[in-house]
Amino acid sequence: MSGMASDPNNSSQEEYIPHHLQKEDPFASKLSREADIIAGFYLTVIGILSTLGNGYVIFMSSKRKKKLRPAEIMTVNLAVCDLGISVVGKPFSIISFFCHRWMFGWMGCRWYGWAGFFFGCGSLITMTAVSLDRYLKICHLSYGTWLKRHHAFICLAVIWAYATFWATVPFAGVGSYAPEPFGTSCTLDWWLAQASVAGQVFVLSILFFCLLFPTAVIVFSYVKIILKVKSSTKEVAHYDTRIQNSHILEMKLTKVAMLICAGFLIAWIPYAVVSVWSAFGRPDSVPIQFSVIPTLLAKSAAMYNPIIYQVIDCKFACCRPGGLKAKSSLKKSR
């Protein structure tokens, strides 16, 4: 507490302080200086690659914004979320790792926590919408006949409203944002679950609506797609070339979506497991040195998607310079 009293930014802090911060400076790094420097360089590389990759996707998409298909619109929204995480959030943590402590006080901590949760939730819900789009497109063919661009924009409005609601709920007094145990980053206050029943309800609600339910929808969608593809591969072989080409394109789009979702979940599930363990396990049962690894892995999720776009030749014009011609010829052939 004495370390906190020396920080002028602490005057605005809430009365509740997580149990792991009550006896020491909450913003002092609990890692060695060498570990902080390594983490800072790691996040710098991740941040640069993510900003360049997602910025490129958005830039190329802006050149043909009036021609984007509904599925591509959702992909661009995912790039916007990933770019937001890289531009708004990562500089705070990078500076703090290099300075060996969180440098932006409680207000900066809350802003960083909100921004990370807002864009992270937006990414997951966008992927949920994409998985539903792929499921309906592949398993219910009539769906593709009525889906238009304005439906995609309505979906985007719902996604942003959903992310805004859950990211802002902690400011309504039912939750909070707090420093991570290692001190140089901030997140949702998972430790509220150890303080009260209301805190447990808050944490469980966040876990269900912002992780478990969207993940269940994604898994359900792609399991149904895999089963449908296995049963329909022989049928497509009997169709004419145009229908076969359309099927190939839809399957490439689906592969991209599946890889994006898999990369996101692989990056975030370890962090979710550690957070749940911290919330409902024994106090201080997660070693501080161990808790930083899932956090760094989760922060790398925004870098994967542009790489996936390039690895899979999905004929997205927003993914490569020659895509405009490919897309034009594909539309003519269809």
Q: Can you give the three-state secondary structure of 272-326, one letter per residue? A: HHHHHHHHHCCCCCCCHHHHHHHHHHHHCHHHHHHHHHHHCCCCCHHHCCCHHHH
CB of 130 closer than 8 Å to CB of 71:
yes
Count of other CB atoms within 10 angstroms of residue 242: 10
State whether the Cα torsion 237-240-244-247 is positive or negative.
Answer: negative
> pLDDT tens digits, the chain, 334 residues: what are they?
334 444 444 444 444 566 556 667 888 998 999 999 999 999 999 999 999 999 988 998 888 888 888 878 888 999 999 999 899 888 999 999 999 999 999 899 999 999 999 999 999 999 899 888 888 888 887 766 667 788 889 999 999 999 999 999 998 878 889 898 888 999 998 888 877 788 888 999 999 999 999 999 998 988 888 888 776 655 555 555 555 556 666 667 677 778 888 888 888 888 888 888 888 877 667 778 788 889 888 888 888 877 776 665 444 444 444 444 444 444 443 3
The answer to whether the pTM exceeds 0.75 is yes
CATH class of the domain defined by 33-315: mainly alpha
Tokens of 65: 């914004």
Alpha helices in the chain (DSSP H): 2-5, 33-62, 70-84, 90-99, 105-139, 149-168, 197-207, 213-236, 241-280, 288-299, 301-311, 323-333
